[in-house]
A and B are shown apart, each in its own frame.
Chain A
Amino acid sequence: MSVANAAHSVVEPSAHARRFAGLLVILYAIITMIPLVWIVLTSFKSPDDAISYPPKILFKPSVEGYCNLFTTRSRQTPEFIQTLGQPRGLCDSIARSRNMVVAGPSNYVPRFVNSLIIAFGSTMLAVALGTLSAYGFSRFRVPLKDDLLFFILSTRMMPPIAVAIPIYLMYRTLGLSDTRLGMILLYTSVNVSLAVWLLKGFIDEIPREYEEAAMIDGYTRFQAFVKVVLPQATTGIAATAIFCLIFAWNEYAFAVLLTSGNAQTAPPFIPIIIGEGGQDWPAVAAGTTLFLVPIVVFTVLLRKHLLRGITFGAVRK
Chain B
Amino acid sequence: MGLPASDMIGKKAAPMLYLGTSVIGAAMFIPILYVIVRAAQSGIERWMRLLDTRVPELLWSTLTMTLTVTLMAGIIGVVLAWLVNRTDLPGRRFWSWVLALPLVIPPYVGAISYIIIFGPRGLLHDWLGNPLFDLFTFGPTAFVLTGFTYPYVYLIVSAALKRMNTNFEEAARCCGLNAGKTFLKVILPALRPAIGAGSILVALYILSDFGAVAMMRYPTFTAAIYFQMGSFDRSGAAILSFILIAITLVFLWLESKSREKMKFYQTERNYRTGKIYGLGRWKWPALVLVNLAVFSFVVLPLGVIAYWGWIGIAKGVLDVQFFRYMWNSFSISALAAVICMLLSLPLIYLKSRYPSRLSLIVDKISYAGYALPGVIVALGVVFVYIKYIPFLYGTAAMLITAYILRFLPQAMQAGDSAMSLISPRLDEAALSLGKRPWQVIIQVIIPLVKPGVLAGGALVFVSSIKELPATLLLRPAGLDTLAVRIWIEASEGFYELAAPSALLILLVSILPLRWVLSKY
Bound pair (A, B): no
Instruction: Show the binding face of A for B, using Cβ within 8 Å.
Output: none
Instruction: Show the binding face of B for A, using Cβ within 8 Å.
Output: none
